Structure 1
Amino acid sequence: MITFLVSIAILIIGYFTYGKFVEKVFGVKEERLTPAYTKADGVDYVPMKTSKNSLIQLLNIAGVGPIFGPIMGALYGPVAFIWIVVGCIFAGAVHDYLTGMISIRNRGAHLPELAGKFLGKAFKHVVNAFAILLLILVGTVFVTAPAALIADLTPAWVSMGVIVTLIFIYYIAATMLPVDKIIGRLYPIFGALLLISALGVGGALVVQGAPIPEISLENMHPGGLAIFPLLFLTISCGALSGFHATQSPIISRTTQKEKQGRKIFYGMMILEGIIAMIWAAAGMAMFSGQELNDILGPGGPGPGAVVSQVSIAALGAIGGTLAILGVIVLPITSGDTAFRSARMIIADYLNVKQKKILSRLWIAAPLFVISVALTQIDFNLLWRYFSWANQSTAMIALWVGAMYLALQRKNHWIAVVPAVFITMVTFTYILNAEIGFRLPILYSYIGGALITMVIIVTYFVAVRRRLEASEAGIRPIHVDDDFEKTA
């Protein structure tokens, strides 16, 4: 219990200390007009208040990831707490803040455009395809997961097919309509439900004196799976998630002032970390490692069953049902913005204005067709592909942030260090995984380390060349919009 409470305290302190430091390194400009005003279109670029933007950002990034991921990560034992705290403060929140703020400085650009600008034109095309793949996987996962939870609460005659269809109808509406029509109006209500459910479960763990284990580096996974790299892909949302790099630009287009960025981007990631801590603790306290492994393993009911059992055990039938509804809200409010983000990325890539609804429709329709087909694939398989694509996107986003800071001769180490770590994680995983090259783990460690070293050297060489070219007047550096406007 002490480890649990101290971890949450450290996350909160991290927002007020390291978050402030990251903001200072970036250097906000109060007088600079944001894209919400300079590109206002009444659809995606719409100025909204900080409180509303914060709740939307939280719901955008907090799908089932900070619940299902930590529940699965609980199999490794309290070492998961360390990754959530350290990862959230020094990697995830930095990742979210930089992607959001760099997007604000570049007309609300999404990650593919930013990757092309800072890492090279070829990256724009690669990251564009990668981001669309990730978003479709996210949208699909966040249809099937909440549908399964809803099915447990509804009469038997309400089939999964009906529930999935209703969720898709909502997704289509949220993807197509202006951001302030559905998302801007419903998310504050959903946000309140989310926070009540998370705090309810967390409070019950404390009041009931749940046997939450104390800090340990021991690997307690019943199947003996390696902590590195698997834990760092299993728990992504809540610690570090590339999916967030696709969501922050949505809010960069509705943020009123740069000063609001720390609360919206860094702060909401810290809050997601607290949610992840609560569910990781619940998984460890209410189930033995073997029990949890049986539930999460092949043939088991999956993490949704853990959510249901924990909620009802902690809060009773009525309170537990409300908590489950809060969990259902999470994936639905990330799935809709996943498809919305995919539409915006494709529109930017093809340079298609989104003022007219027909322009939005012909881009969005194929995304939903593909997603419907993917719902027929096993959830666990989808999750493995999502986890790898997710952390690979985080790797790219952190290198973009590092390059942005380096070209301004600012402290780029705040992004370089987590970028190096997650680069090693993602390449080690894909070399070893069944969905990858299936190399022995030792060879995967060696291969991951060698690839990571090549990327580090490439990065520093690129930084030096671009700075030298700028000083020689050959290639001026423009990290922000060329037409900075001030209020």
Structure 2
Amino acid sequence: MDALWLMLICGVGYVVAYCTYGRFLARRIFKLRPEAAVPSRELQDGIDYVPTRRGIIFGHHFTSIAGTGPIVGPAIGVIWGWLPALLWVTVGCIFMGAVHDLGALVVSMRNEGKSISETAAKYINARVRFIFFAIVFLTLLLVIAVFGVVIAVVFARFPSSVAAVWLQIPIAVILGWAVYKKGASVPVATAVAVAAMYATVWLGSRLPFEMREIAGMPATGSWTILLLIYAWIASTLPVTVLLQPRDYINAWQLFIMMSLLALGVAWTSLSGGLPMVAPAVDLSPAGAPPIWPFLFITIACGAVSGFHSLVASGTSPKQVATEPDAQFVGYGSMLLEGALAVLILICVGAGIAMVYTTSDGQLLTGFDAWHRHYSSWSTASGMAANLTAVVVGAANMMGRLGVPETVGIALMGVFIASFAGTTLDTATRIQRYVIGELAGDLRIPFASNRWVATTVAVVTAAALAFATGADGKGALALWPLFGSANQLLASLALLVVTLYLKRKGGRKFLVAAIPCVIMLVVTNWAMILNERTYIRDENWLLAVIGAGIFALALWMTIEAAIAFGSARAEGETAGAS
């Protein structure tokens, strides 16, 4: 099938979904009202609670939830065929992921912008607060510790991206100062900031930077330390100083990159065709785990991801200015992420086949090119392999538009590293919120201080990152748990949304309950299969921690089932704010 048709059909489908199902959820299920009180106004403090234009908060929310997820996931998931992956990032995104994100955002907004852990305590019971805290803390700990390594890998593989990524920081600070302090026109300031950002991309392509070993510490270790220091600073500053403007200009980077990729697909297809050379379905690729249930935990962002509930109940609900904006920010962001996942599938399923250079310098095209990269699970599933497939496919298609290969590679390197960076600093800030809320519940006021809570978040991540040596890759030992833990978190967030809607009466809760049950089944199935593998391989670290997460999730599911029955017994008209 030609990639152009896939792109057009999916793109139209997302737009229709936003205007129909998204509007139904906003107006009929969650009943979003423009006059309703929102945390950004009721609790405005100029640091975390700041009412924000919906275009700006959309940019922050989208870049925070996206990260490298919709890039890496589809780049691995295509090994089972492009059709199952495509169905998951369209149907799953529309009816599960976007419902999850919108629901988590609305529930948090109607509870003072509190985290999903706190709202779980309200709608289930106080005991689950600590269950949720354990799962959320571990998830964020892994994200913070690993994403430093991810960015370091990108910097090492694409040294032309280093200058542009770091120079985005002063550009973002100046943008925030111009808009919030000097009242500059947002469109004009945006145009100047984006132009400056692309000037730094050009500069980076001319002046690549490679970190050298420092006092015996490998480059990845040095980058991890620098990035954690940056995350501490970014997460303690007011959101309008750095976090929000940086995410906003990164969103524009995404819009431009997606436009270039879409134009590349269209031009290549119309000038000679761009067939999907990856098989439509392959149920038994060499060395790969079974497609059921592992497709659903391999491709998370772009379909449904528990990390999104942390953003939707962390930074975003404290900035959304009116309730109706939640549809655009929550539901709309998820659909755009699905569209990005579709473009990535085209890059790795079709673009890579235009020309592929092997390690020995051989040039391959067509199915031979695709198969060389995806010959087995072991060759296709590593971080470097994922990034290579995406960058090669994207650069090939942009090359048809006249973009030089070196510039195309620099653009993709900056794109990937920038998104990983936004996830890193957002995750650190959310971890600070979670630690602060728990400290408040336990009556430890000094630990709820934003500097202390952020220090705890960063120090624990650093301890995990350097647990196995100076390369900063210690968290990779636990990374195999992330896929199942992340999707488990999505299941539990959907549980909270289900209980919230159940208290509203009627059958509204079904829009969240059905995705919740599906995710609980496939995630627990995957966790059981993973546990068997860990035990067989005598990987006791993963086996013990994985079993602990599974036990906590089972406990919380039972507590939620009891709460669900109690809500029904109390009467269908029982209300919740």
Matched, 1:8 2:90: no
Q: 1:190 to 1:115 in 2, by over 3 A?
A: same
Q: 1:30 aligns with which of 28, 34, 39?
A: 34
Matched, 1:328 2:393: no
How do residues 65-214 of structure 1 correspond to structure 2 at under 5 angstroms?
65-78=69-82, 79-152=84-157, 153=159, 154-158=208-212, 159-209=219-269, 210-212=274-276
Q: 1:276 to 1:438 in 2, by over 3 A?
A: farther
TM-score (norm 1): 0.88
Question: What corresponds to 2:485 in structure 1?
Answer: 389
Whole-angstrom CA distance in 1 between matches of 2:117 and 2:299: 24
Matched, 1:241 2:244: no
Matched, 1:291 2:373: yes
Identical pairs, percent? 26
Matched, 1:339 2:420: no
Question: What corresponds to 1:428 in structure 2?
Answer: 525
Counterpart contact for 1:43–1:179, Cα < 8 Å: yes
Q: 1:203 to 1:39 in 2, by over 3 A?
A: same
- 2:334 alignment partner AA: M
Q: 1:319 aligns with which of 401, 408, 425?
A: 408
Counterpart contact for 1:283–1:306, Cα < 8 Å: yes
How do residues 240-259 of structure 1 correspond to structure 2 at under 5 angstroms?
240-249=304-313, 250-259=315-324
Deviation at 1:139, TM superposition (A): 1.4
Question: What corresponds to 2:494 in structure 1?
Answer: 398
Bigger mean CA offset, 338-347 vs 383-392:
383-392
Deviation at 1:295, TM superposition (A): 7.2
Whole-angstrom CA distance in 1 between matches of 2:80 and 2:296: 11
Question: What corresponds to 1:43 in structure 2?
Answer: 47
- 2:435 alignment partner AA: I
Structure 2 SS opposite 1:203: helix
Question: What corresponds to 1:483 in structure 2?
Answer: none
Bigger mean CA offset, 127-136 vs 313-322:
313-322
TM-score (norm 2): 0.75
Bigger mean CA offset, 121-130 vs 167-176:
167-176
Counterpart contact for 2:498–2:512, Cα < 8 Å: yes
Stretches of structure 1 that go unaligned for 5 or more consecutive residues are 440-450, 481-487
Whole-angstrom CA distance in 2 between matches of 1:125 and 1:271: 33
- 1:127-147 CA-partner distances (Å, limit 9, x unpaired): 011111111111122211122
Question: What corresponds to 1:221 in structure 2?
Answer: 285
Q: 1:221 to 1:282 in 2, by over 3 A?
A: farther
Counterpart contact for 1:143–1:167, Cα < 8 Å: yes
Q: 1:478 to 1:318 in 2, by over 3 A?
A: same
Counterpart contact for 2:123–2:500, Cα < 8 Å: yes
Counterpart contact for 1:295–1:301, Cα < 8 Å: no
Q: 1:187 to 1:298 in 2, by over 3 A?
A: closer
How many matched pairs? 466
Whole-angstrom CA distance in 2 between matches of 1:73 and 1:399: 26
Counterpart contact for 2:153–2:220, Cα < 8 Å: yes
Deviation at 1:296, TM superposition (A): 4.3
Question: What corresponds to 1:364 in structure 2?
Answer: 454
Deviation at 1:224, TM superposition (A): 4.6
- 1:132 alignment partner AA: F
- Structure 1 outlier segments of 4+, above 6 Å: 352-358, 451-458
Deviation at 1:387, TM superposition (A): 0.8
Whole-angstrom CA distance in 1 between matches of 2:414 and 2:35: 41
- 1:467 alignment partner AA: R
- 2:311 alignment partner AA: Q
Q: 1:436 to 1:335 in 2, by over 3 A?
A: farther
Matched, 1:278 2:333: no
RMSD: 3.0
Question: What corresponds to 2:58 in structure 1?
Answer: 54
Whole-angstrom CA distance in 2 between matches of 1:270 and 1:207: 24
Question: What corresponds to 2:20 in structure 1?
Answer: 17
Q: 1:468 to 1:238 in 2, by over 3 A?
A: same
Deviation at 1:35, TM superposition (A): 0.5
Structure 2 SS opposite 1:398: helix
Bigger mean CA offset, 285-294 vs 57-66:
285-294
Structure 2 SS opposite 1:85: helix
Stretches of structure 2 that go unaligned for 5 or more consecutive residues are 160-207, 213-218, 353-368, 399-404, 466-471, 537-551
Question: What corresponds to 1:408 in structure 2?
Answer: 504
